[in-house]
Chains A and B, each alone.
Chain A
Amino acid sequence: MYAIESSGLTKIYNGKRRTQKITALNSLDLQIDNGIIYGLLGPNGAGKTTFVKIILGIVNPTSGSAKLLGKNITDHEVRNKIGFLPENHKFPHYLSAEEVLKYFAKLRRFDSKNINSEIEKVLDKVKLSKWKKTKIKKFSKGMLQRLGLANAIITNPEILFLDEPTDGVDPIGRKEIKDLLLELKQNGKTVFINSHLLSEVESISDRVAILNKGNLIREGKVDDLITSKKNYIISCSEFIEDNIEILRANFQFTVNENFQINLKVDSTAELNSFMDKLRQHQIIINSINQQKSSLEDYFIKAIGDSDKI
């Protein structure tokens, strides 16, 4: 059983003119395992928020189906196991942090007899204990975001949906949120993140999907996506450049002043052949690493490639 599963999920909005149709999501198939942190990426208007909203019953799909923890999303009871932090959420400003958590926990039928101690615990986790009695109209954007996160996790949900979770949060707060999400993952929870901050997603996500114009263009483990299978960095001990220059006829590479060779190959056999040649020339190899790009670079390239089609 997957935590989140969608099959042929499509959403077409009506445009301003009756005949105009906007495809926000185009036949999206996704399977997300339990207990991982999953990042959904995409430029503005890619369909990320639409996907989350469909899954949570806020938007109705045009066609296709989706399941949460094996149950159809049309069964609203399944949302009892969900925590959600929407983008630009709006809590009733006349309530205090404590009251917000108590009220929303009740709406989610959180029957804990120790609700006050749970509130205490969760506010402590998001570093808002000192302000629990303060009306939230006095809260900064970062504090509201922390409260939103506390609200999403107070009922101990199985799946957590976070839309731009660190929006407006300072760097220290971001680090704390990141640690909290990793802790949730360790406790077996599934965390689904929708974010523009690619470095953040890269550092905590196990898998990511990239959407563009409603289509799924890439999906996989973060490491697999950002690791190039064609580019290698080979660190060598000092060598005479002439020894290596003769290899240029058969291989594509560059050399820097630190005796690092940046090699581009089409196959593992080609890589092995290059290594053999280095050894033949008495060049000592210290390390071989696959070249990694950042998720941001990968994302930009993927979107660029997708737009060309």
Chain B
Amino acid sequence: MKNIYSISLYTLREALSRKVFITFFAVSTFVLLIFTLLFSTISVEGFFSVSTVRPESTNSLLANVAGALKTMIVIPLYGGGLFLSIFSAASFIPNMLEKGSVDLMLSFPVSRREIILGKFFGGILMVLVNIAYLVLGIWLLIGIKFGNWDSSFLFAIPTIVFAFSSLYGMIILIGILTQNSVLSMMISYLIFFIFSPILSAKDSISSFINNGVVTFIIDVMHFIVPKTSELGSITANLAAGVSISDIEPFATSLIILILNLVLSIIIFNKKDY
């Protein structure tokens, strides 16, 4: 456990030193500054002074505006957060596997399983810190501006991090197989932007397809590709205060994540460097 902790911290340190963390943090800060600027140009008092809303309905209207704003923000936030997270973490495994680095790493009194898990949790930690900063920042800005402190928006933190972790498992596996961070990134973006949205509409698509083989492929893909699209919808619903009705995207993404990690450990154990 101590080894996993040490490698996780080192991964975080690596992200800091390679300016990956700072870049993520700078982009998040930039987004927060834009929101600050945007909110500073809107006058809530002015809006109500010219509106016909009765004063007793003001609070409920403010809550509705804040709620609508959060729903509007959460989807791009989910997409942008995942995009940045994938970009930041894709190089962790290929960098470690570079000749000269991997020899040193493997000569330490650390098992290969611990190295993989350390790299995994280190990546998650980096994304968690940045996503928490971004989501909390937006939540605070909305709260200060509209006086709405509904905490359901904060569910975006665990859901974005979980969606990232389901993709990160795959990034680790591809990284070990190919030692190529660009390929890891490309496949992750392909899943996130193309496959997952298509597969989330599997039932509708299947009704248009007569070919059994294609239907079979879509069914198989549905079970092996992380369900980032469905997780995005869940994040939006949670931000709007709608509770989770279907945990299947969580469950299958978790199974895919565990399978990817187990497979990564098995392959990493067998590989020679």
Contact = CB atoms under 8 A, between A and B. Distances in A.
Given A88-B99, A89-B100, A109-B2, A94 B17 contact: yes
A8 interface: no
B266 to A, nearest CB: 13
Interface in B124-164: none
B211 interface: no
Contacts of B2: 109
Contact of A86 (B13, B107, B109, B110): B107
B101 A103 contact: no
Interface string B83-125: 0000000000000001111111111111100000000000000
B203 interface: no
Given A89-B101, A89-B104, A107-B6, 12 more contacts: A56-B106, A58-B107, A59-B272, A60-B272, A76-B110, A84-B103, A86-B100, A86-B104, A88-B99, A103-B10, A103-B13, A109-B6
Contact of B7 (A78, A88, A107): A107
Contact of B109 (A53, A91, A94, A108): A108
Interface in B183-211: none
A109 B110 CA distance: 10
A74 B50 CA distance: 77
A77 interface: yes
A299 B2 CA distance: 46
Nearest to A148: B104
A106 interface: yes
Interface string B167-194: 0000000000000000000000000000
A95 B100 contact: no
Interface residues of B, number: 26
Interface of B: 2-3, 6-7, 10, 13-14, 17-18, 98-111, 270, 272-273
A79 B111 CA distance: 10
27 contacts: A53-B273, A58-B273, A59-B272, A59-B273, A76-B111, A77-B109, A79-B108, A82-B107, A84-B103, A84-B107, A88-B99, A88-B100, A89-B100, A89-B101, A89-B104, A90-B104, A91-B104, A92-B17, A92-B101, A95-B17, A106-B10, A107-B10, A107-B105, A107-B108, A109-B3, A109-B109, A161-B107
Contacts of A89: 100-101, 103-104
Interface in A55-90: 56-60, 76-80, 82, 84, 86, 88-90
Interface residues of A, number: 29
B63 to A, nearest CB: 47
A161 B103 CA distance: 12
Nearest to B270: A60
A104 interface: yes
Contact of A53 (B6, B14, B103): B103
Nearest to A81: B109
Contacts of A161: 107
Contacts of A59: 272-273
B104 A84 contact: yes
Nearest to B17: A94
B17 A56 contact: no
Given A106-B6, A107-B7, A58 B109 contact: no
Contacts of A107: 3, 6-7, 10, 105, 108, 110
Q: Which 7 A-B pairs have the closest CB atoms?
A: A90-B100, A80-B109, A94-B17, A86-B103, A59-B272, A84-B107, A79-B109
B87 to A, nearest CB: 19
Contacts of A77: 109
B99 A90 contact: yes
B3 to A, nearest CB: 8
A57 B107 contact: yes
A86 B6 CA distance: 22
Contacts of A57: 106-107
Contacts of B17: 92, 94-95
Given A58-B272, A59-B272, A59-B273, A90 B101 contact: yes
